[in-house]
């Protein structure tokens, strides 16, 4: 505190000397010096933008646990929701637990590759418009006809590669499910 008082006194003396020696009647008066605050100043810090929340993994609906035609259909819909989640977050663990087929594994591997390269996928939400269990064999298998549409998706890859993947409308999949204690997708084929 004593040093602040000394600085103020020194500034006042300097100002008086400078003003007294340099001002003449022809010259305009200098503007006053700004006041010195005794309170310490804190730098202004710009607020940090809130991080985008990471979505939670989708919860398995109770119906999708049932060994029934409706259960198989609910599980197929859940798998598509999980595919959306994996695409958006890059987390393919749940997706890999729900399906074991060549096409399903290739989807998970492509998502993993984008993330390993430092990329990300934005948008592209898929929505099921209809589904129907074509065949159900209790405790063994089911066959589900599922139709979905997907919005436009952006895939960003470093250093500045951006790929726009157009929307898909009314895509039909024939999904084969195997039943053990729960459902597992063993095939997902597009129907043309």
pLDDT digits (tens, 9 = 90+) for 16-73: 333 344 444 455 555 554 555 555 555 555 555 555 677 899 999 999 999 999 999 9
Does residue 6 surpass a pLDDT of 90?
Answer: no
Q: Beta-carbon neighbour count of residue 92 at 10 Å?
A: 21
Long-range pairs of 19-23 with CB within 8 A, sequence gap ≥ 24: none
pLDDT digits (tens, 9 = 90+) for 122-149: 999 999 999 999 999 999 999 999 999 9
Peptide bond before residue 159 is cis, with ω within 30 degrees of 0: yes
Looking at residue 47, what is its pLDDT?
58
Burial grade of 97 (CB within 10 A; 0-12, 13-18, 19 or more): exposed
Q: Average pLDDT of 68-93?
A: 97
Q: Name which of 127, 144, 22 is nearest 80 in CA terms.
A: 127
User: With a threshold of 0.75, does the pTM exceed it?
Assistant: no
Model confidence band, residue 86 (pLDDT cutoffs 50, 70, 90)? very high
Looking at residue 55, what is its pLDDT?
84
Model confidence band, residue 192 (pLDDT cutoffs 50, 70, 90)? confident
- 192 or 39: whose pLDDT is higher? 192
Model confidence band, residue 102 (pLDDT cutoffs 50, 70, 90)? very high
Helix (H, G, I), strand (E, B) or coil at 47: coil
Does residue 172 surpass a pLDDT of 60?
Answer: yes
Q: What is the mean pLDDT of the chain?
A: 83
Looking at residue 45, what is its pLDDT?
58
Model confidence band, residue 12 (pLDDT cutoffs 50, 70, 90)? very low
Looking at residue 77, what is its pLDDT?
98
Q: Which CATH architecture has domain 62-191?
A: Roll (3.10)
Looking at residue 54, what is its pLDDT?
76
């Amino acid at each position: 505190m004593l040093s602040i008082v000394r600085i103020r006194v020194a500034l006042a003396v300097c100002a008086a000397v400078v003003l007294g020696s340099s001002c003449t009647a022809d010259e305009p008066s200098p503007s006053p010096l700004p006041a010195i605050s005794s309170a310490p100043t804190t730098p202004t810090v710009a607020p940090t933008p809130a991080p985008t929340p990471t979505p939670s993994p989708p919860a398995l609906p109770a119906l999708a646990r049932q060994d029934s035609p409706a259960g198989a259909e609910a599980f197929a819909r859940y798998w598509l929701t999980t595919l959306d989640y994996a695409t958006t977050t890059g987390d393919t663990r749940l997706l890999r637990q729900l399906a074991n087929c060549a096409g399903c594994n290739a989807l998970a591997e492509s998502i993993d590759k984008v993330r390993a390269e430092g990329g990300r996928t934005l948008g592209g939400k898929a929505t099921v418009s209809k589904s129907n269990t074509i065949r159900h064999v209790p405790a063994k298998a089911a066959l589900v006809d599922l139709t979905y549409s997907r919005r436009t998706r952006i895939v960003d890859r470093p250093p500045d590669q951006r790929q726009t993947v157009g929307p898909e409308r009314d895509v039909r999949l024939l999904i084969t499910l195997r039943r053990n204690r729960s459902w597992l997708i063993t095939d997902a084929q597009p129907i043309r």
